[in-house]
Amino acid sequence: MQTPHYPHPIIAREGWPFLAIAVAIALVVTYFSIAWSILFWVIAIFVLQFFRDPQRQGSSVPLAVISPADGRIVVVAEVDDPYAKRRALKISVFMNVFNVHSNRSPVDGTVQHIEYFPGKFFNASLDKASLENERNAMVLKTARGDTVTAVQVAGLVAKRILCYSKVGQSLARGQRYGFIRFGSRVDVYLPLGSRPRVAIGDKVSATSTVLAELPEQVSQSE
């Protein structure tokens, strides 16, 4: 399945101002001192890699839930979903500063609810970050009635969570819907009975990695 197109491939639009500033400073320093400019070109390269946003191929399996972010799995557990008020399977993806930070919809679905929560900036790999850090929760409903919650969580140095979706909007699986700047995580809450396809410690890629498969039948509690 081809990832839905959006008009800023390769380099995320959120990074254009940062990249322009980094390159401009590096050019100015280069004019005065090539030796001193090396550090600033390294910074510019870091900014370039941080805001890269490649197009990805995704699964065509109907019940597949794809990873909403690049990173490493830090949680696979049954927990309470505080946003959809239910028990759920939680799978968390931790992103470090070298991962792609563009966020993609884990399923085909309609946005039911979006809520932003101000909070702290603990290391995003810690369990307490899910409920204490700054975060933005989006609850989706699939066409057959499954509820899937995706939560963008700020990290130790993350200072901006961006979510472009609106309540009532239909999102395609793998469609870009947000971005988090500088280290963070995304928590995905799935219906009980979903079958995880990843384990703690696994490295995952947004869109191309299947996190889990939804239950064969919709849960009566959904």
Question: Counting runs of H as helices and runs of E as strands, what totals does the chain give?
Answer: 3, 16
Residue 141, CA distances (Å) to 22, 153, 202 in order: 41, 21, 27
19 secondary structure, DSSP code:
H
Residues 135, 151 contacting (CB under 8 angstroms): yes
Instruction: Read off the tokens for 106.
Output: 């884990």
Quick one: angle between helices 16-32 and 34-50, nearest 10? 170
Is 184 a known active-site residue? yes
199 CA to centre of own chain:
18
The one catalytic residue among 67, 125, 184, 219: 184
Catalytic residues: 184
